[in-house]
Every structure is written in structure tokens, then in C-alpha cells.
A and B are shown apart, each in its own frame.
Chain A
Amino acid sequence: MTPETKGFLLLSVIKMLAVFTVILVGVALLTLMERKVSAWMQNRRGPNRVGPAGLLQPAADGLKNILKEETFPAMANRGLFLLAPAISFIPALLLFAVIPFGAPLPVDFDFTLGPLGRFIHHGFMPMVVADLPIGFLFVLAISSMGVYGIALAGWSSNSKYALLGGLRASAQMVSYEVAMGLSLIPVLLMSGSVSLSAIIRDQQMGLWYVLPLFLSFFIFLIAGFAETNRLPFDMPEAESELIAGYHTEYSAMKFSFFFIAEYSNVVTVCAMVTTLFFGGWDIPFTHWDEAGGVLQTVATAAFFFAKVMFWIFFVMWIRWTLPRFRYDQLMALGWKVLMPLALAYIMVVCVAIYLIRRVFGITDPIYEGLALFGLSLVVAFLVFGLLDSGIFIKGSARQRRTLNARARRAPVT
């Protein structure tokens, strides 16, 4: 092994440990944040007994979960029952590996460490665990593995509620994956690359993609809510219908594994929204952050963190604001609204980009972005005007009317 490879491996291990720690600690704090935010929205105080302002509440919860009794439901498939939390936990933690969280950091070292030999690294270290060439495809692929954990948990518990939750989860996640994948194709058309660092570079030169590709952002956000099983799409665990859905039979640490997976999926979806549509670690209106340097790395990482925290807050805000969808509404929204919308939008963006780049010959990314922003305003006006007037989504009252009409037409026997 060359000293350069060793230096690369050393940095990778450090980055892995750092990201892993930050995600796990962050997830613990997010549970507290969720409870605080919900309390704030419901005019309560939230947890405030353990530690200053309730800050040690996650530690207390963790301790409780480790000490609690592990239960096994009778007639459960023991192996799969144990495997399910792990299967949902591992993909959730893998996902963050491809997301760049700061400007490249200049790292120079050259030292010898006893029997391990010489370590060398010169130049910039990308602030991402693995800058994969397949970029967001990795996120889509690995997040699609997360559904196994939930489906298996539901099936192996040998319980009706859990089985229904698992079935709902697998149907919902497969359905919304389609819309999610299709909503990312306009991003691919704009940047010409699936690599997340290339997408961020493209947004630094032009506009953040939320402006030119607004509808993509909207569909991705909705599908992200559905993929993470958060309200208003938390069908798999709808407590008023299924007790707790797929994790009804789980207790102690196995139960909290599902929670860690859910929250780290929320973090990943928020980081993806930030990276794909809000410039990632880019600081807007300046090119200072692209110069490279320690200060730039710290500032961009802080900016990235702030953007992700905003989206996490947004997710919680939605959770405590909107009621749950009905299951058939959820499926209809996924297949009959979001998927055709995403497909039509791909066609619109294709034609628009062709016209802008080839016919009008605009190559400046900022002007191109502005032109597409004008288009996306029109599209957004059309879509939301139609959505709101009940043409795409029928309200329940409207559906009942059509059912009654059919009942009236049917011959009375």
C-alpha cells in the first residue's frame, strides 16, 4: 500500500467516524427537538425535567430503552424478528455517506506512525465520506432497501396490526419511490450529472435548483415525506387505526432502532433537499466560499447545517399541523397525481432546456436558470390552481357524490 493510499484511508476512517457520531447524536437530539417543537405548537412546555431545559432527556430515554425487558411475541419468526430492526437501521445510516456537507478542506500531512508506516495527503479533501459517481442513485437504491426492515417487522411479529402496517409501508414506499425517482430527472437534465458534488457545483455557477425546477422540488419533498413515513403519510404506524403499525410488538432497544432509522432517514431526506435544490453547502450571493480554505470549509459546513436544520424543522412543523391522509387518498396521490405530474414536468423541462440551449443559444447558467424560473412560475400557477380547485384531487365529499350517482343509476333489484 502506498503512503498516499494510507493517507486517503486514514482520512476516510476519520470522516466515517465523524459522520456516524454526528448522525447518531443528532438523531438523539432530534427526538428531543420533535417533542419540544410539538409542545411549542400545542402550547405546552415539553420535556423539561431531565438536565437543563430537558437537554438530557434523550440520554434518559436511551438508558430506559437499554434496561427495558425485551419481549418476543408468541409464534413470531424469531430470526426475522431480530433481523428487521437491523435491516431498517443500516441503510438509514449508510445514506448520509454520499452527501457533501462542506467545501473541500485543504489537508496536508506527511508523517510516519510506527509500524503502520508513512501517511501522506496533499491537496483538498472533499467533505463527503464517499464522493460516488452514481450520486443520488445511491441514495435512491439504498433507501429502497429500508422497506425490508419495516415489511419484515410487520410480517415476523405474527400480529394483525403489525402485518397491516408492514403491508401498507411496502406499498407506500414502492409507490412513492417512483415519483421520487422521476422528480429527480429534471435535476439530471439541468446538471447533466448524477454526482452530488457536480450538482452543487452547477448550482454555485447558476441558480439554486429550487427556482428553475420548482415542481421537482415539490414532488421530491412530498415523496420524501412518504418515504420516511412521516405525517401526513404515516399510514404504516397510524396509531388510531393500527395501534403502532409495524413496530407494535417491539420493545426496548429494538423499538428504538426503528426510531433511530426513521429520524436518520428524515435527516437524509432534508440533506438531499438541501443538496439537490438549495445549493448544498453553497453560501448564496458570494463566490468567496468556493476559494478553498479552512475558514471556507467551516462556514459552508455551518451553512449546510443551518439549511438542513430548517428542513428538519419544516418536517416537524408539517407533522404537527396536518392531519393524516386516508390510505386510498395516499395511493391515489402517489400514482394518479404525482407520477403523471412528474412525467409531464420531465417533458416540459426537456423541451425548455433544448429550446434555451440549442435554439436560443443561451449558455450562461444564470440566464438559463432565470428562463426556467419564469417557466416554473407558469407551471406552478397552473398546477396549484388546478390542484386547489379539485380537478386533480377529489375531496371525499366529491367522491361520495360520484358513488351516490352510480348507486342511483344502478337498477334496483
Chain B
Amino acid sequence: MTEVVFYIFAAIAVLSAALCILQRSPMVSALWLVSTMCSLAAIYVLLNAQFIAAIQVLVYAGAIMVLFLFVIMLLNLGDAGSDLRGPSTVAATLVIAGLLSVELLALTRYTPRRLANELSQWPTFTDPATVFVAGQVTQQESAARGVVGALAAPLFQVYLIPFEITSVLLLAAIVGAVVLAKRNV
């Protein structure tokens, strides 16, 4: 049952991602990206990560993409002709596509067992044997602490310092953006 749901949403996600890059109109493209994000949120729910799913829809689909649409509407971008033609672009595309398919092939050789074995060599805080078993850890954690607590507890206890460093970095980026924008006013 869960697998059927997963394949439905995975198909929608892949299809929308493909349509996102195949569309001429930037507006339609952005909407297909929203569709991709929503189906990804559904996949997060299947992994028992409901909180991440809600945040995915709230932040990415609900706020960031609205700003994208805002910019597209303000600039009134039409169906622009593609700049990506010519032999050099085709060559670069082929190289990138080749690299990505090699990566994809390499990834298929990884099994959950092998990942768990490699991970057990590293200093981690959770039992690696349970990490990749279809959302088992998130299920246990959310049963114990609730869906928000399952994320909040590691974030604010074990990984507190990386989290704070990241927030300072983001703050610096915000201040930088304001400074750059203000210079032009």
C-alpha cells in the first residue's frame, strides 16, 4: 500500500520536474516546480517525517516559490527564446548528463546495508543499523517525542553548535543582502 503511494508521488515528482525544465513559459515552469515540491512533501510523509513535509510545503512551495512568481509577474517575462543553442552548449550538456548518469549508476550499487556499514565507521550519535530502514528512526522518535520534538531534540541538543553557526551564517547573508540592495537605492 505504502509502496503504491510512493510510486504514484515519485512519478508525479519526476514528471513535474521534467515539465518544469521543458516548459517555455517561466510562469508555467515555476508552477511545475511547486508541483514537484508538493509531491516531495508527500514522500517525506511516507518516511514518517511529517514535520519536514509541512515545512517543505510552508517554506518552499508556500513562500519561496511565491516570491519567484512575484518576480516573474513584476518583470512580465514572456516566452523567451532559448539562448542555449550551438555546439558548445550541446557538448557541455552531454558532459554533464554523462557525469550525472555515472553518479546515478554508482548510487545504485549502494544498499542500505553497505551505507550502514560505512556509516558505522564514523562518529555518529544514532545507531547506524537503523538509519536507512524506511523511516524507522523517525517513527520511533516521533512516537517518543512528537513530530516536532523528533527534529528539535537532536537539533537543539546534539547539533546545537552547528545549528547556531548556520544561523549566524544566514544572518550574515541577510545583512549582506540588505547592504548590497541599499547601495543601489
In B37-88, which residues have CB < 8 Å from any A CB? 38, 50-51, 53-55, 57-58, 61-63, 66-67, 69-70, 72-74
Check: A151 CB closer than 8 A to any chain B CB.
yes
Inter-chain CA distance A346–B67, complex, in Å, is 27
Inter-chain CA distance A259–B67, complex, in Å, is 25
- Shortest Cβ gap from B98 to chain A (Å): 35
Check: A147 CB closer than 8 A to any chain B CB.
yes
Check: A141 CB closer than 8 A to any chain B CB.
yes
Check: A142 CB closer than 8 A to any chain B CB.
yes
B147 contact from A140, A177, A194, Cβ within 8 A:
A194
Q: Which residues of B contact A134 (CB under 8 A)?
A: 50-51, 53-54, 147-148
Inter-chain CA distance A151–B31, complex, in Å, is 11
Most A CB contacts (10 A, CB to CB) among B27, B38, B53, B73 go to: B73
Contact A144 B69 (CB under 8 A): no
Contact A148 B66 (CB under 8 A): yes
B63 contact from A80, A137, A174, A192, Cβ within 8 A:
A174
The answer to whether residues A144 and B147 also contact, given A80-B28, A134-B54, A151-B66 and a CB cut-off of 8 A, is no
Check: A133 CB closer than 8 A to any chain B CB.
yes
Contact B50 A133 (CB under 8 A): yes
Chain A 130-153 interface 0/1 with B at a Cβ cutoff of 8 Å (1 = within): 001110011011101101100110
B50 contact from A132, A142, A154, A171, Cβ within 8 A:
A132
Look across to chain A and name the residue whose beta carbon is closest to the beta carbon of B146. A193
- Shortest Cβ gap from B179 to chain A (Å): 18
Chain A 202-234 interface 0/1 with B at a Cβ cutoff of 8 Å (1 = within): 000000000000000000000000000000000
Contact B63 A141 (CB under 8 A): no
User: Count the B residues whose beta carbon is within 8 Å of the partner chain — how many?
Assistant: 27
Q: Which residues of A contact B142 (CB under 8 A)?
A: 133
Q: Which residues of B contact A151 (CB under 8 A)?
A: 66, 69-70, 73
Inter-chain CA distance A171–B63, complex, in Å, is 10
Check: A190 CB closer than 8 A to any chain B CB.
no
Contact A137 B54 (CB under 8 A): yes
Q: Which residues of B contact A300 (CB under 8 A)?
A: none
A154 contact from B34, B51, B66, B73, Cβ within 8 A:
B73
Please name 5 pairs of A and B residues whose Cβ atoms are closer than 8 Å in the assembled complex, sorted by A: A154-B73, A155-B69, A166-B73, A177-B62, A181-B58
- Shortest Cβ gap from A406 to chain B (Å): 15
Closest 6 CB pairs of A and B: A144-B62, A141-B57, A137-B54, A141-B58, A133-B147, A134-B50
A167 contact from B53, B54, B62, B70, Cβ within 8 A:
B70
Check: A95 CB closer than 8 A to any chain B CB.
no
Look across to chain B and name the residue whose beta carbon is closest to the beta carbon of A164. B73
Inter-chain CA distance A193–B34, complex, in Å, is 28
Most A CB contacts (10 A, CB to CB) among B54, B63, B142, B146 go to: B54
Check: A188 CB closer than 8 A to any chain B CB.
yes
Inter-chain CA distance A132–B27, complex, in Å, is 32
Q: Which residues of B contact A192 (CB under 8 A)?
A: 146
A144 contact from B25, B31, B58, B146, Cβ within 8 A:
B58
Contact A194 B148 (CB under 8 A): yes
- Shortest Cβ gap from A179 to chain B (Å): 13
Look across to chain A and name the residue whose beta carbon is closest to the beta carbon of B54. A137
A141 contact from B62, B66, B70, B147, Cβ within 8 A:
B62
Inter-chain CA distance A154–B69, complex, in Å, is 11
Chain B 137-150 interface 0/1 with A at a Cβ cutoff of 8 Å (1 = within): 00000100011100
Check: A170 CB closer than 8 A to any chain B CB.
yes
User: Count the A residues whose beta carbon is within 8 Å of the partner chain — how many?
Assistant: 33
B31 contact from A148, A170, A194, Cβ within 8 A:
A148
- Shortest Cβ gap from A346 to chain B (Å): 15
Q: Which residues of A contact B51 (CB under 8 A)?
A: 134, 137
Contact A138 B27 (CB under 8 A): no
Look across to chain A and name the residue whose beta carbon is closest to the beta carbon of B70. A170
Look across to chain B and name the residue whose beta carbon is closest to the beta carbon of A154. B73
In A107-166, which residues have CB < 8 Å from any B CB? 132-134, 137-138, 140-142, 144-145, 147-148, 151-152, 154-155, 163, 166
- Shortest Cβ gap from A1 to chain B (Å): 9
Q: Which residues of B contact A181 (CB under 8 A)?
A: 58
Contact B57 A144 (CB under 8 A): yes
Contact B67 A137 (CB under 8 A): no
Inter-chain CA distance A181–B58, complex, in Å, is 10
Look across to chain B and name the residue whose beta carbon is closest to the beta carbon of A194. B148
Contact A133 B73 (CB under 8 A): no
In B7-53, which residues have CB < 8 Å from any A CB? 25, 27-28, 31, 34, 38, 50-51, 53
Contact B147 A174 (CB under 8 A): no
Look across to chain A and name the residue whose beta carbon is closest to the beta carbon of B148. A194
Contact A171 B70 (CB under 8 A): yes
Look across to chain B and name the residue whose beta carbon is closest to the beta carbon of A156. B27
Inter-chain CA distance A154–B146, complex, in Å, is 40
- Shortest Cβ gap from A141 to chain B (Å): 4
- Shortest Cβ gap from A226 to chain B (Å): 15
Look across to chain B and name the residue whose beta carbon is closest to the beta carbon of A188. B148
Inter-chain CA distance A155–B69, complex, in Å, is 9
- Shortest Cβ gap from B133 to chain A (Å): 20
Look across to chain A and name the residue whose beta carbon is closest to the beta carbon of B62. A144
Contact B69 A145 (CB under 8 A): no
Contact A155 B27 (CB under 8 A): yes
